[in-house]
């Protein structure tokens, strides 16, 4: 159960939480940081697909260009690996070797869902064999399934591959993840790819501080949602003497670093185009600091997240890039000034990610209560530009 605070704790409104989180996420103003420093501060970028990390950094960094992420990935300074919430993230090499051990209890718990398909399988032997296979040469999941099935022909092949992924820190080797050069997913161990051994998991207090620096103020349940872990309350209690405490409008206790930014709630927040599964929308149990109550669940369709548009810091629409256009679907009306600001931000994003590409910018409206795109016959802007 979420702990409630005393009435003496200051209350932070959704707008105050929004501005604090946007500031730490580099979404109030572009950050003059290098890619590795930004990825480290953000504790990784959600990366189910290849392009989202690039789109996430284009929205956050001053002077970003795709090669600024692609080059360190090719040089093995950042990697793609399953970590938080059992999803693929782009992490720095250092975080790959430490955050993965930190969330290993969640990977062990994940294995229990596949126990029926792993009956009779020695998981320690599986880990040894899988390591030998992927370190001899990178393997696709299909190749890994087929090789492991030779040893355990009565087991479920998919469960065998999942077990290897849960027991070992498997990274996706390049060219997968490189801008404009991505290939199929092939896996090897983080230690083999990076040329150094795994490191002990960091102290949980260290990770709590880093989480608050990137996503705070936040509750215990918020961090547990972000990490996919449980039983973090004792860690926050140990840190309580050095943290500030607040409460949200529902009375939930929130923790924060004393020197972390908490801007005025009226601080301007420019429009931002975020990729699908952006961690801004996934790293809190209560997403009300970004998603208005009336739009709860509208950024998703089944298990798939839409690309989202923030206006004044909050979810205001969806977007997609077609072959020759950025299509912006709004949940409601925008005044002229905000519509022009959204258009300008779309143009900036295209200059960063697709320079020299002809494009249209089209506006439409999301079908009510469905979170899906309408045809853009009613576009209010359809002006071709070449950047």
Measured between alpha carbons, how far is 30 from 34 in angstroms, rounded to an integer? 12
pLDDT of residue 382: 37
At which residue do the structure tokens 């992927």 appear? Answer: 134
Is 248 in the same domain as 314?
no
Task: Assign 239 a pLDDT band (cuts: 50, 70, 90).
Answer: very high
More confident residue, 381 or 168: 168
As for how many domains the chain has, the answer is 2
Is 247 in the same domain as 306?
no
Structural domain includes residue 347: yes
pLDDT of residue 385: 32
pTM, to two decimals: 0.91
Measured between alpha carbons, how far is 3 from 309 in angstroms, rounded to an integer? 32
Helix (H), strand (E) at residue 228: none
pLDDT of residue 196: 95
CB-based contact 209:256 (threshold 8 Å): no
Task: Assign 269 a pLDDT band (cuts: 50, 70, 90).
Answer: very high
Structural domain includes residue 304: yes
Structural domain includes residue 138: no
Beta strands of the chain (E only): which ranges? 45-46, 78-82, 88-92, 170-172, 187-189, 244-247, 253-256, 272-274, 300-301, 304-305, 307-311, 314-321, 325-330, 358-365, 385-386
Tell me the pLDDT tens digit for each residue of 4-25: 444 589 999 999 999 999 999 9
Residue 12 CB neighbours (<10 A): 21
Is 251 in the same domain as 330?
no
Measured between alpha carbons, how far is 57 from 46 in angstroms, rounded to an integer? 11
DSSP 13-38: -HHHHHHHHHHHTT-SS-B---HHHH
Tell me the pLDDT tens digit for each residue of 104-120: 999 999 999 999 999 99
Task: Supply φ then ψ for residue 259, to 5 degrees.
Answer: -100, 10
Structural domain includes residue 317: yes
Q: Determine what percent of the chain is predicted with pLDDT higher than 70.
A: 91
Is 300 in the same domain as 359?
yes
Measured between alpha carbons, how far is 283 from 23 in angstroms, rounded to an integer? 15
Q: Which of 255, 226, 197, 248 is nearest to 89 (CA)?
A: 226
Contact partners, residue 339, CB within 8 Å, separation at least 6: 363, 380, 381
Which residue segment(s) compose the domain that 374 sits in? Answer: 291-386
pLDDT of residue 366: 66
pLDDT of residue 268: 97
Is 376 in the same domain as 323?
yes
Q: Which of 212, 240, 256 is the last residue of a domain?
A: 256
pLDDT at position 41 over 50? yes
Q: Would strands 325-330 and 314-321 be described as parallel, antiparallel, or unpaired?
A: antiparallel
Measured between alpha carbons, how far is 283 from 292 in angstroms, rounded to an integer? 16
Structural domain includes residue 144: no
Structural domain includes residue 107: no
Structural domain includes residue 50: no
Is 229 in the same domain as 298?
no
Tell me the pLDDT tens digit for each residue of 92-104: 999 999 999 999 9
pLDDT of residue 182: 75
Structural domain includes residue 182: no
Contact partners, residue 362, CB within 8 Å, separation at least 6: 325, 326, 327, 328, 376, 379, 381, 382
Tell me the pLDDT tens digit for each residue of 293-312: 999 888 776 666 789 999 99
pLDDT of residue 183: 83
Beta strands of 40-102 (E only): which ranges? 45-46, 78-82, 88-92
pLDDT of residue 305: 77
Could you give the C-alpha distances from 330 to 25, 242, 325, in angstroms and in order? Answer: 23, 42, 16
Tell me the pLDDT tens digit for each residue of 200-229: 999 999 999 999 999 999 999 999 999 999
Is 382 in the same domain as 296?
yes
Measured between alpha carbons, how far is 200 from 101 in angstroms, rounded to an integer? 7
């Amino acid at each position: 159960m979420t702990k409630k605070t005393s009435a003496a704790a200051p209350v932070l409104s959704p707008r105050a939480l929004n501005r604090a989180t946007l500031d730490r996420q580099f979404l109030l103003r572009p950050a003059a940081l290098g890619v590795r420093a930004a990825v480290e501060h953000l504790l990784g970028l959600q990366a189910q697909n290849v392009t989202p990390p690039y789109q996430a950094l284009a929205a956050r960094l001053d002077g970003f260009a795709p090669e600024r992420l692609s080059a360190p990935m090719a040089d093995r300074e950042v990697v793609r690996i399953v970590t938080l919430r059992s999803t693929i993230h782009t992490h720095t090499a250092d975080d790959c070797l430490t955050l993965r051990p930190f969330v290993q209890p969640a990977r062990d718990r994940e294995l229990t869902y596949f126990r029926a398909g792993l009956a009779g399988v020695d998981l320690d032997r599986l880990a040894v064999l899988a390591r030998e296979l992927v370190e001899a040469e990178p393997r696709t999941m299909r190749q890994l399934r087929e090789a492991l099935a030779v040893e355990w022909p009565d087991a479920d092949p998919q469960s065998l591959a999942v077990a290897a992924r849960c027991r070992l820190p498997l990274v996706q080797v390049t060219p997968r993840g490189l801008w404009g050069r991505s290939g199929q997913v092939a896996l090897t161990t983080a230690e083999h790819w990076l040329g150094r051994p795994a490191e002990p998991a960091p102290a949980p207090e260290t990770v709590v501080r880093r989480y608050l620096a990137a996503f705070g103020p936040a509750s215990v349940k918020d961090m547990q949602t972000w990490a996919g872990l449980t039983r973090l309350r004792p860690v926050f209690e140990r840190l309580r003497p050095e943290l500030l405490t607040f409460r949200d409008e529902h009375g939930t206790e929130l923790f924060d670093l004393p020197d972390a930014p908490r801007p005025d709630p009226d601080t301007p927040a420019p429009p931002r185009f975020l990729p699908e599964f952006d961690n801004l929308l996934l790293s809190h149990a209560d997403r009300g600091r970004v998603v208005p109550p009336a739009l709860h669940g509208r950024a998703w369709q089944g298990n798939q997240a839409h690309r989202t548009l923030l206006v004044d810091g909050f979810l205001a629409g969806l977007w997609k890039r077609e072959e020759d256009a950025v299509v912006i679907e709004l949940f409601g009306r925008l005044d002229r000034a905000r519509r022009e600001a959204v258009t300008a931000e779309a143009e900036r994003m295209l200059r960063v990610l697709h320079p020299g590409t002809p494009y249209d910018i089209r506006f439409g409206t999301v079908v009510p209560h469905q979170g899906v795109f309408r045809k853009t016959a009613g576009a209010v802007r359809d002006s071709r530009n070449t950047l």
